[in-house]
Amino acid sequence: MNRTVKRSLLVVSTAAVFAAMPSPADGKSHVVKSGDTLYRIANTYQMSVAELKSLNKLSSDTIRVNQVLTVGGDVKVTPSAPAVLSAKEYIVVSGDSLSRIAQKEKVTVLQLKEWNKLTGDVIFVGQKLQIGQQTSVQPAPKPVTQPKPNPPAATSDYTVKSGDSLSKIALNHGVTVQQIRQWNALSGDLIFTGQKLKLNAAQPSQPSQPAPAPAPKPTPPTPALAVYKVQPGDSLSKIAVQYGLTIKELMDLNQLSTTIIFVNQELKVKAGAANEQVKPVPPTAADMTYTVKSGDSLSKIAIQFNVTVSNLRQWNQLSSDSIRIGQTLVLKGGSPSGPVQTVTPAPTTNVVAAASQLMGIPYVWGGASLSGFDCSGFIHYVYNLAGKKLPRVTAEGYYDRSFYVDQPKAGDLVFFEGTYKRGISHVGIYIGNNQMIHAAEQGGVMISSLDTSYWKKHFSSFKRLY
């Protein structure tokens, strides 16, 4: 008799425990299961992540298994709806990055991180990534409710932090890159740590009568396109200038989310500009040869003889910009142009602005003038142009005249070691967004990403001049 009573009590108490547990399908609460994320739970209950965090007073995206979350009461999740697996698997290969995989699979980097629970951008060869996620049959739509009146539009200021970019700021504040440019009169994507940006909230809709629609503007004709294959030493800025485009236009044309490009990558460019720049010149009686001297580069020789770098490569069957002293180059129809003409840079107190005026000037070993720079000569010229008097020393000399910084600002120096000799061997100017401007042996004055494998391998430190 006692055993029967105990068994009955056990059954009743167990049932009571299960009855007390909130059910995810009751539309009021959800018990976190293994594999759940705020994004997945919010999607299930037709909420935004912000609404779910606000409802549960969450200050971060971290949740734990068996945690009970309050959800909206308007949606009922149908337990019988079968799951549909739309995900596929991708195995990381050598040379891959999250941005490159996202571009290839036509998704965003944020989605890749969400689907694979990644907290950073680091991936490794052989790693398996999930492209897509499990989705379920859509529940019945929420009843339509009257929207609350919007507050009047406001203007707020944002101070740029290290690692920021226009696209990142736009995404975080629910606006577009074009709007930020327009509100701040920006002509490009370059921003600096500590810079203040205006972020205007969107105008609320008014109940007044809509204005008559303006007459549609005629659609401009779509320009003819050609394909350009990236060569060693290329950068987006260099290719954009060569084909008469801005960096933004070149990125939009190729749906790029980053300025990182790869050798042999194919990019869409304007066909007209490409033909004018690389059209072969027929042989003439004025054909000549030129013997490479110390300090020469293809860009310097091209300017000297009124031809293009592409012409020189084509005429001499070169696959890169590398040339050697004593090498003989064919010049078809070229003629010496006398001293190289350069535009005098405008004085400025901003180091990055001063450096940006020198883009494209060729690399010359030991150079510290507008005829050509090496890495330390470039630092000397830029800082003096910006009103900061510096002696002309080597990269090691500037390393000894500066102190370490953990959070670099635009205008700080970035040092590298072991590029062509032991110890400190190269220096550039940090411009924000993990990029630097420097005088490179292949390409002259250019902008490079510190995320590339070469610069990561040789990185030494960020420093600031005393």
Catalytic annotation present for 375: yes
Catalytic residue from among 30, 173, 380, 438? 438
> Strand 328-331 and strand 288-291: pairing?
antiparallel
Cα 37–43–45 angle (5° rounding)? 105
CA distances from 76 to 18, 72, 135, 169 (A): 20, 9, 16, 36
CA 435 – CA 365 distance, rounded (Å): 23
Q: Are 99 and 258 in contact (CB under 8 A)?
A: yes
Bridge partners (DSSP) of residue 228 are 267
Nearest-angstrom CA–CA distance, 445 and 441 = 9
Residue 357's SS3 state is coil
Distances (CA, A) of 42 to 62, 115, 148: 14, 15, 21
Nearest CA-CA partner of 428 in 440, 442, 443: 440
**Is residue 385 a contact partner of residue 343, using CB atoms and an 8 Å limit?**
no
Catalytic residue (choose from 30, 375, 380, 458): 375
Distance CA 374, CA 380 (A): 10
- Please give the Cα distance from 143 to 318 (Å, whole number): 67
Question: Alpha-carbon distance 289 to 177, whole Å?
Answer: 49
Neighbours of 78 (CB within 10 A): 12
**Cα(368)–Cα(370) distance, integer angstroms:** 7
Q: Which of 261, 281, 186 is nearest to 443 (CA)?
A: 261
Phi, psi of 349 (to 5 degrees): -95, -5
Give, rounded to a whole angstrom, the gap between the first and last alpha carbons of the chain: 90
Active-site residues, by number, are 375, 426, 438
